């Protein structure tokens, strides 16, 4: 009897699965912060986003001044980023359908730099192949990880390094070399 009652209750009220509204924030090139909540899919209603602007007082919340849109719906917020705030916690509050979702974000490990620029190769007397790259800024706090493969073999990774170069000793003209570079930032 209970099962029939539950079925009828759900049928008449309209069942909606509970959706969690997780906010993900990322510091982009130490210039700004993007916070988004559309990873669960495109929303069908707009949300209102508040943040503490890295202020240490929890009750100091401001509404987003620059919303990010996708298909006409609010899916994120762009915040100014100040290097002085890099060790402070960002508190966010997402208001969706009269419900409030509050989160704390430690962004020190959530930094994404722009990709490296000026990628160049140099062959030295057929004995060494050098790969060089530059960052637009902040190279003093970036570590690079180089992934490479020869022909179509498996990818190999080299540990993070501060240098902005990689050398292949005694390269073969009959092999194909592929490289990828990932960067990480330590914002101290």
Q: Is residue 80 part of a domain?
A: yes
Give the domain CATH number at 102.
2.60.40.10
pLDDT band of 95, cuts 50, 70, 90: very high
Q: Is residue 1 part of a domain?
A: no
**How far apart are alpha carbons 140 and 143 in whole angstroms?**
9
Asked if residue 161 and residue 97 are part of one domain, the reply reads: no
pLDDT of residue 65: 95
Asked if residue 139 and residue 100 are part of one domain, the reply reads: no
Q: Is residue 9 part of a domain?
A: no
Provide CB contacts within 8 A for 167, sequence distance 6+: 128, 129, 130, 131
Q: Is residue 161 part of a domain?
A: yes
**How far apart are alpha carbons 95 and 83 in whole angstroms?**
28
The domain boundary, picked from 81, 111, 141, lies at 111
151, 186, 145, 150: which is closest to 169 by C-alpha? 150
- Residue 79 pLDDT > 90: yes
Q: Is residue 3 part of a domain?
A: no
Judge contact between 77 and 68, C-beta under 8 A: yes
Domain interval for residue 153: 114-185
pLDDT digits (tens, 9 = 90+) for 144-166: 778 888 898 998 887 766 778 88
pLDDT digits (tens, 9 = 90+) for 22-64: 899 999 988 899 999 976 666 778 889 999 988 766 578 999 9
Total structural domains within the chain: 2
Q: Is residue 2 part of a domain?
A: no
Q: Is residue 123 part of a domain?
A: yes
């Amino acid at each position: 009897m209970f099962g029939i009652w539950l079925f009828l209750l759900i049928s008449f009220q309209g069942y909606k699965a509970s959706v969690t509204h997780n906010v993900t924030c990322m510091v982009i090139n130490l210039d700004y912060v993007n916070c988004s909540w559309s990873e669960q899919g495109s929303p069908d209603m707009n949300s209102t986003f508040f943040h503490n602007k890295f202020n240490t007082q929890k009750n100091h919340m401001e509404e987003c001044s620059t919303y990010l849109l996708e298909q006409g719906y609010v899916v994120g917020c762009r915040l100014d980023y100040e290097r002085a705030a890099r060790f402070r916690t960002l508190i966010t509050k997402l208001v969706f359908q009269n419900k409030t979702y509050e989160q704390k974000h430690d962004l020190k490990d959530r930094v994404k730099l722009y990709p490296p620029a000026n990628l160049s190769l140099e062959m030295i007397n057929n004995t060494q192949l050098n790969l060089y790259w530059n960052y637009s800024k902040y190279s003093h706090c970036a570590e690079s990880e180089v992934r490479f493969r020869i022909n179509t073999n498996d990818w190999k990774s080299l540990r993070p390094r501060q240098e902005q170069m990689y050398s292949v000793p005694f390269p073969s003209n009959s092999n194909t070399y592929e490289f990828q570079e990932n960067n990480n930032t330590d914002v101290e």
